[in-house]
Amino acid sequence: MIKTVLLIITVMFFALNMGGSGIAPSFAANWGGKLIKKSQALLLFGFFVILGAVSLGRGVSVTLGKNLIPSRIMSFDVVLIILIAATLSLFLANIMKIPQSTSQVTVGAIIGTGLYFKYLNMSTLLFKIIPMWVLLPFLSFVLTLLLYKLIYPPTHNNLHIYQRLFANHDKLKLSSLISGCYVAFAIGSNNVANAVGPLSGAGLLDIGLGLVLIAPLFGLGAWLLGKGPLETVGKEIIPLGLVSSTLVSFVTATLLIFASILGIPQSLVQLNLCSILAISCLKDGHKHTLDKHLTRKTFIVWAITPLLSIGISFLLLVLFIHSRPVESRVR
């Protein structure tokens, strides 16, 4: 009973924190620009996260629940340790004030479990997940850079674009709002699986039911924990303007949904920041952007945190799990 309560609390805390961090890249620009009220942003976020989870969340759940390590390893205790390790790793990244990928710390915790039991599907990890972790943020940067170059810096060649944008300012506001909903949908399609996948792999919760039950926790997390990030990021993002913030949302959400269709657990945080860095490089120059202390610190934390998650899960298994499968192996 104690372990059951602990698992429920861990899942809820994990989902609430994911929702609290997800509201900012979804609706910060819209709220900062006073296009919608804070309560409207939170309600829209919750609705579209649920819609995304129910529509496209199954593929990533299967990857996290079955494709990295076999379901027979996913006992109640093992799932509890995986979720605790992922939550602790995410918490440590938050202490350093660096937004981190919940998908990557979850995969890291599962890898630590696979290493402990000596059964890890290396082909899925090395030829499917990790290449996309490198490729998609790179694409987010490049696509944003190429698209934003069409309108920045202002020249006589792109003056007609500015005229059209200013002439359709109301439509631009609507596009910005739609892009926020699009990002929330993408978050639901990918990140809800971080909690559902391990639970379904252990047979503790059906994937469909899990997506329906856990997705609303993202909305609740946005309501309880997302107001601060919404205010902070809203003030930081809105100087980019409606055009740039809409472009960032469209690029990152599209890539995240693409990852969900492929069943790849992917980081919205990394896609989002790489897209914003592309705009910063155009405005401030590549050298100035990449030489910033915060930029370097962010990339270092991104590299270390998944490794930390691997180590925490492995250590917890050593301390609390005393048996291994007879036919354990790494493939």
Residue 232 reports pLDDT greater than 70: no
Domain of residue 163 covers 2-319
- Is the residue at 327 inside a domain? no
For the residues 308-324, what does the mean pLDDT come to? 85
- Is the residue at 290 inside a domain? yes
- Is the residue at 185 inside a domain? yes
What is the per-residue pLDDT for 293?
A: 61
pLDDT bracket for residue 228 (50, 70, 90): low
d(CA 300, CA 305) in angstroms, rounded, equals 9
Average pLDDT, the chain: 83
Contacts of 52 (CB under 8 A, 6+ apart): 184, 185, 186, 187, 188, 189, 190, 192, 215, 260
**Residues 153-209: tens digit of each pLDDT:** 667 777 677 667 666 667 777 888 899 899 999 999 999 999 999 999 988 999 999
What is the per-residue pLDDT for 237?
A: 42
Residue 331 reports pLDDT greater than 80: no
Half-sphere exposure of 182 (CA within 13 A, CB side): 21
State both tokens at 55: 């529509």
What is the per-residue pLDDT for 141?
A: 94
Half-sphere exposure of 277 (CA within 13 A, CB side): 24
What is the per-residue pLDDT for 330?
A: 44
d(CA 264, CA 189) in angstroms, rounded, equals 11
- Is the residue at 79 inside a domain? yes
Q: Domain total for the chain?
A: 1
**Residues 9-62: tens digit of each pLDDT:** 999 988 888 887 777 777 766 666 677 787 888 889 889 999 999 999 999 999
Residue 279 reports pLDDT greater than 50: yes
**C-alpha pair distances (Å), 185 with each of 50, 55, 95, 106, 190:** 8, 9, 27, 20, 9
- Is the residue at 328 inside a domain? no
**C-alpha pair distances (Å), 15 with each of 52, 90, 150:** 15, 12, 38
Residue 150 reports pLDDT greater than 60: yes
245, 35 contact by CB (below 8 A): no
- Is the residue at 291 inside a domain? yes
For the residues 106-120, what does the mean pLDDT come to? 94
Name the phi and psi angles at 126, rounded to 5. Answer: -85, -25
What is the per-residue pLDDT for 272?
A: 84
- Is the residue at 329 inside a domain? no
- Is the residue at 331 inside a domain? no
What is the per-residue pLDDT for 326?
A: 40
47, 120 contact by CB (below 8 A): no
Which residue do the tokens 């579209």 mark?
A: 48
